[in-house]
Amino acid sequence: MSQIPPISGPSLSRTSPTRPAAERAAEPERLVPRDLMELSKFDVEIRPVRHIECTEEAMALQAPSLERPVLMIHGLAQHADTWVNFKNFFTANPDNPDGGIFHVDREESFREELGQNPQARVFAIDLSDNLRSPQVVAGEVRRAITAILEGTGADQVDLLTHSMGGLVAREALRQGEDRVRNLVMVAPPSHGSMEATLASALDEGSLYSHYPGEKMEAMHALRLEYGSGGKISNEWLHELNQDWQNHSDRVRGSVIAGVGLPTPDARWKGVGLGDGMVAAANAPLEGAEFYIAQPNNLEPGSEHFRDFQQFRYNHMQIVSEPEIFRQVSELLTGAPASPAAPPAPASPREAPSRAELSQTLQQTAEARKDMAAVDTLRQIAHSRRLGGMERTLVGSGILTAGALTAAAGAPLVGIGVSVLGLAFTAFGILQSRRNEMEAHVAADATVRLAHEALNQAEDAIHRTIRADAD
């Protein structure tokens, strides 16, 4: 599986316009991961999404107060529940009340509910048909924005999108929407998707249709912008990307792409790094900030090691990761998501009496003896397993005898003996596992009770020491 070296530093672009050309030319190529070299054709800086390696930091992450309403837009063949984790993250901050889900066919009830909750800040849209092209459903986004602004009294909204939702949002801008301040696009196929290109080609050749023919509209819209020889193969997407230059001066655009999985792309080897569906080389957009989320790839044995990290920023999972919560928060507000305030210390419990402490210490000594006996219980489990295995071996012998009997010219007798051997073997295996499990359950129960006693003793000793200190 392809992996990339760690990204470090504030910017890794070889083409950043903020540095002299001679300096950029002299920059070592190793600063740009080899699999992402294709990104150098875009005039963007590659910025890393900072890792959160500490469990406590991830669990304590708190959303900042949003400056304006946020409308979250899902992608192809998805629904508003794409954003359930983001919604819960944002609304855990009481300054960010939930405003609900906009459905174009329930717009009136949405407006009525928002009229009773004008302080709402977090919204999602459920597109009426998640297989229609962005050109068609972009109007629904505009209607949602109008309803949100009229209901909250805000002047502008921020848009948070996933996958094709980024193209839907930009199509809304192209159609005249001018009330957007921030556009944060997670895993967008800004220059198309190789998978969509292949699916469209199969459909057009009547070889295979991923969706029924009339439902391939959005898939066709996601075809790669450029085809063989660098020729434009998706006119609509090319025009949409050209149009972005008309908005990038007043709309702050940001792209967050995930890497870690081999992803189909149009390069000669057919596979590049990406999130499994959108190649990283097809995500950036000139005039928009570009961030890469990549696995931390820590060595086994490291304090924060986690396995299977290459799957962490896959196309669907990326919108549920704490690093993405934090990065999006910073892009929307300029303020980082922060750890929650520590809870107020609990009132100390009364220290145990000397008699209670003595009894607890005696229970501790007994618990330690029980834990020492666990090894004996484990050995019993092993011996019981061996006892069951003896029956299994006997059954295997009977099975072999049956086969030999059948081969010697007595098939009926041989079959009967073989069936008996199979039954004896199966019984031996089941008995072996049952005996072993019973012994292990007893050992686990002993360990659990011993740990409880030790914890109680530790607590009693701690409270006694605090009481003596006071």
pLDDT (tens place) for every residue of the chain, 470 residues total = 434 444 433 333 333 333 333 433 333 333 334 445 455 555 678 899 998 888 899 999 999 999 999 999 999 999 999 999 999 999 999 999 999 999 999 999 999 999 999 999 999 999 999 999 999 999 999 999 999 999 999 999 999 999 999 999 999 999 999 999 999 999 999 999 999 999 998 888 887 888 887 789 999 999 999 987 789 999 999 999 999 999 989 999 999 999 989 898 876 567 888 999 999 999 999 999 999 999 887 888 888 888 888 888 999 999 999 999 999 999 999 876 665 555 455 455 566 676 776 777 777 677 666 666 656 655 665 565 555 556 666 666 776 777 777 777 777 777 777 777 677 677 766 766 676 666 656 666 666 676 666 666 666 666 666 666 55
Q: In 367-389, which positions are buried (b, 16+ CB within 10 angstroms) versus exposed (e)?
A: beeebeeeeebeebbeebbeebe
- What phi, psi does 46 have (nearest 5°)? -90, 115
* Amino acid making up residue 224: L
Residue 157, beta-bridge partner list: 180
Yes or no: domain 21-339 corresponds to CATH 3.40.50.1820:
yes
Tokens describing residue 335: 């303020």
How far lies 202's CA from each of 92, 139, 218, 230, 455, in Å?
A: 45, 30, 15, 21, 64
pTM assigned to the model: 0.68
Q: Tell me the C-alpha distance between 247 and 291, whole Å.
A: 20
DSSP string, 161-216: EETTHHHHHHHHHHTT---EEEEEEES--TT--HHHHHHHHHHHTTS--SS-GGG-
Q: Tell me the C-alpha distance between 199 and 189, whole Å.
A: 15
